[in-house]
Structure 1
Amino acid sequence: MKSFVRILDAEEVQKEYPIADRVPGWFFRLREVANCAWIAEGTDLWGRQVSDSGHDEEQLLESCCAAAYRINEQIQKSIR
């Protein structure tokens, strides 16, 4: 049975994912989970998520942004 996905509130999402200027429709955050160990996470308002972990926080954020761009491209192709 199909279930409906509700769109999330942008203000609420941005409280948890404060980086919002990288990919249209996506919000990101970086967290240091151990000494010099980082996790970058991103979400859109439909609940799709991307993440990466490692030691270079800027590279991790770029990796998540690239994944979010790929997801956006796939969505655009599927609705054409």
Structure 2
Amino acid sequence: MKSYIAKKSPDALLRDYPIQGKVDGWFFRCREESPCQFVAVGEDLWGRKVCSDNIDYDAALTDCINQANEILNREQGS
């Protein structure tokens, strides 16, 4: 049985994911979880998530953004 997935509010996502405007419809955050270990997480309005970790803040965030772009590209290609 399929269940309905409700579209999330952008305002609600901004509370947890303050970085926006990198990928249309996606919101991101990047935090230092332990010394020199950054974890970037992104979520879209439909609840899909991407995640990346790295010793570099920008590299973690860039990888997360690239994953979100891949999802959008696959979605447009189908």
Look up the match of 1:50.
50
Give the gaps of 5 or more residues in structure 1: none
Give percent identity, aligned residues only: 38
Shift of 1:52: 0.5
Structure-to-structure mapping, 1:61-80, within 5 angstroms: 61-78=61-78
Q: Which of structure 1's runs of 4+ aligned residues deviate more than 4 A?
A: none
1:22 counterpart SS class: coil
- Partner amino acid for 2:40? A
Please state how far the C-alpha of 1:67 moved relative to its aligned partner.
0.5
RMSD, aligned α-carbons: 0.7
Name structure 2 gaps, 5 residues minimum.
none
Q: Number of residues paired by the alignment?
A: 78
1:35 alignment counterpart: 35
Q: What is the CA–CA distance in structure 1 between the aligned matches of 2:37 and 2:76, rounded to whole Å?
A: 34
**Secondary structure in 1 aligned to 2:4?**
coil
